[in-house]
Amino acid sequence: MFRKIDLHIHSPASDCYTDNMSPESNLHTSPDDIVGAAVAAGLHAIGIADHNSAEWVDRVRDAASGTSLVVFPGIEISAKGGHVLAFFPPQTQSSELRKLVLDLGFTPQQFGLGYLDGTRWMDEIFDIVAEQGGLAISAHVDRRPRGFIAASEIPTEVKRRIYSSPNLQALEITIPQNKPLWNKGQMPGYPQGRACIQGSDGHAPAEVGRRPFYANLPKLDLDSLRLAFREYETRIRFPQEMESECAPQALA
């Protein structure tokens, strides 16, 4: 069954969230607002991934209790080279992820700050996330300034090293037309095929679900996501691909 998913959702725990960036608007986004927006968008699952913070994970999951929405606990980790989306099993508590953030060298005063430059390279973060039982995705790889493919200051050999990491599970891309090229390893300089997703990178409830992807999953859990990323050619679809596949065939 194909499930509609948005794994890149922020909350007011990120300093760049709309509530914090526009205090004059007197916005007070609640966990219920985020969950309600996800349900209204027809999403089956979301990932909460605040910048170097997991402070709202428990709140959003509690708000989703009693709905069919699955919340994947996550963090958007600042690393050398770019940002890493790290996700963990749905039952993972905020306190467990907070410990990981602290172990990576971030202080509580840095929780929520997306502009930080991490001290560890992205592929090292991929390995740490895998060791903790999580799943690592490279965030907005084709968008400056925090996408490693688009970053002009990163040497090509380092980009290729990051790209070839065995613990990189998927790329989050912002140019959906390039998905077939990434999938088939046809992007110049990157011959290895990779699973691709897209995400809203939502910083307000109105942005939740604006760039979903679809995954054919046996269950809504982390192992099923791993399976989808391994078998991405048959299990991962973008909305335009779903529409094309479902469109009536033209009469001969």
pLDDT of residue 51: 98
Positions in the chain whose pLDDT score sits under 70: 247-252
The answer for residues whose C-beta is within 8 angstroms of residue 219's C-beta and 6 or more apart is none
Domain annotation covers residue 38: yes
User: What's the angle, vertex CA 16, arms to CA 13 and CA 19, rounded to 5?
Assistant: 70
User: Which tokens hold the place of 8?
Assistant: 């890149």
**pLDDT on residue 26:** 81
Q: What is the CATH number of the domain that holds 218?
A: 3.20.20.140
Residue 59 in domain: yes
pLDDT given for residue 245 in this prediction: 81
Is 90 part of any domain? yes
Structure tokens at 22: 């526009």
Q: What is the pLDDT of residue 25?
A: 80
Distance (Å, whole) CA 19 – CA 89: 28
* Greatest alpha-carbon span in the chain: 64
- The number of domains in the chain is 1
Residue 252 lies inside a defined structural domain of this protein: no
Tell me, what's the pLDDT at 251? 39
Per residue in 31-52, pLDDT (tens digit) is: 999 999 999 999 999 999 999 9
Distance from C-alpha of 139 to C-alpha of 148, rounded to nearest angstrom: 9
pLDDT for position 252: 35
Domain contains 169: yes
Neighbours of 45 (CB within 10 A): 23
Q: What is the pLDDT of residue 141?
A: 97
| Within a domain: 251 | no
Owning domain of residue 111 = 2-246
Specify which residues 187 forms β-bridges with.
190
pTM of the entire structure? 0.95
Long-range contacts from 182-188, C-beta under 8 angstroms, 24+ separation: 183/232, 183/233
What pLDDT score was predicted for residue 192? Answer: 97
CA separation for the pair 81, 17 (Å, rounded): 23
